[in-house]
């Protein structure tokens, strides 16, 4: 029997105001049909102090609502202070932790933990090493095509595999902050200008076409990944957890749409149409899954540029 699919909510990647983020998670706890919620700053440690005081209250409310809470680490660690934050999470015996950097995975070795999507798990050898180290869930990189997912699904053993199925695709991280540079401020005195763009700062080509999005030190896709039509195939490949990245849309409604398809109640094509009415940030794409450029949309067997 195929295990029940888990719908997960990744950590908020963007610099939302702390109270907005708190209320967002309160609503997720009370209303969203998700099984797992990830909390934590994975992009820029400078943002952590704002939401940090709310984390215990948010985690408790999510747990009371029956959600599994996972604490996510930074994806790019650049100094001892940031490393100490990861050590503190790894040393907390009662916390379930997602390692988004290989040093975090090393600190968590020997206890159950999650490997996040910012650790490059591209082949079965890497997956097996991480599982032997205690990882019981691996969040696979968003750029893997179906063939690679099939190989990893066979190699997972008893570990759960998770894949992003909604949201902007996280593509790269840098020590430099393009968001600050675009506003003519230095990274150390950035004035947190990234807060002005709750879904990232959109970038265009010289021809005015949507290209990428910038979130502080992070580069994301312009398009939003949508794998509603691919959910059944992914389950057949051994993927059991499906990640929604938060965007500034009604994520309770988004979760409900994905839950309906996962549970077999709703038709994927009709669900995708409803999702398109709900989400107007950018076009959808699914190219990586189909072995194409990430920005393309494959619908009904036909390739088309997204947007």
DSSP reduced 3-state for 178: helix
What are the phi and psi torsion angles at 60 (to 5°)?
-65, -45
User: Can you give the pTM of this predicted structure?
Assistant: 0.94
Residue 112's pLDDT band (boundaries 50, 70, 90)? very high
What is the model's pLDDT at position 3?
67
pLDDT value for 210: 87
Q: pLDDT tens-digit profile of 22-68?
A: 999 999 999 999 999 999 999 999 999 889 999 999 999 999 999 99
Supply the DSSP symbol for 158. T
Rounded mean pLDDT, 233-262: 97
Region 217-222: mean pLDDT is 96
Question: Residue 164's pLDDT band (boundaries 50, 70, 90)?
Answer: very high
Alpha helices per DSSP H over 165-224: 178-182
As a whole number, mean pLDDT of residues 146-151 equals: 96
Mean pLDDT over 249-262 rounds to 98
Statement: 6-169+223-282 belongs to CATH 3.40.50.300: no
Looking at every residue in the chain, the average pLDDT score rounds to 93
Is the pLDDT at 305 greater than 80? The verdict is no
The model's confidence at residue 300, banded by pLDDT at 50, 70 and 90, is low
Q: How far apart are CA 237 and CA 232, in angstroms?
A: 9
Domains of the chain, residue spans: 6-169+223-282
* Span 134-155, average pLDDT: 96
Element (H, E) at 272: helix 268-278
Of 52-56, 93-97, 180-184, the range with the lowest mean pLDDT is 180-184
Per the rule left: phi > 0, alpha: psi between -120 and 50, beta: everything else, 191 is left
């Amino acid at each position: 029997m195929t295990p029940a699919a888990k719908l997960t909510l990744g950590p908020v990647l963007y610099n939302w105001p702390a109270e907005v983020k708190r209320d967002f998670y309160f609503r997720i706890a009370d209303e969203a049909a998700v099984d797992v919620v990830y909390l934590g700053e994975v992009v820029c440690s400078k943002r952590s102090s704002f939401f940090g005081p709310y984390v215990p209250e948010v985690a408790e409310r999510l747990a009371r609502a029956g959600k599994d809470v996972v604490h996510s680490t930074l994806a790019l660690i650049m100094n001892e202070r940031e490393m100490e934050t990861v050590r503190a999470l790894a040393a907390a015996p009662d916390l379930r932790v997602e390692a988004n950097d290989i040093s975090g995975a090393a600190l968590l070795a020997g206890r159950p933990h999650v490997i996040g999507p910012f650790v490059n798990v591209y082949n079965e050898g890497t997956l097996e090493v991480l599982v032997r180290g205690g990882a019981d869930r691996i969040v696979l990189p968003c750029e893997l095509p179906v063939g690679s997912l099939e190989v990893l699904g066979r190699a997972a053993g008893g570990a759960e595999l998770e894949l992003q199925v909604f949201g902007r695709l996280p593509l790269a991280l840098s020590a430099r902050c393009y968001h600050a540079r675009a506003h003519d401020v230095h990274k150390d005195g950035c004035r947190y200008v990234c807060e002005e763009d709750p879904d990232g700062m959109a970038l265009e080509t010289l021809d005015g076409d949507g290209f990428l999005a910038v979130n502080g030190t992070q580069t994301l896709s312009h398009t939003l990944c949508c794998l509603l039509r691919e959910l059944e195939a992914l389950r057949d490949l051994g993927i059991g957890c499906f990640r929604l990245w938060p965007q500034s849309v009604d994520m309770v409604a988004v979760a409900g749409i994905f839950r309906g398809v996962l549970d077999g109640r709703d038709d994927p094509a009709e669900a995708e149409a409803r999702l398109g009415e709900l989400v107007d940030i950018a076009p959808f794409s699914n190219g990586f899954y189909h072995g194409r450029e990430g920005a393309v949309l494959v619908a009904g067997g036909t390739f088309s540029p997204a947007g």
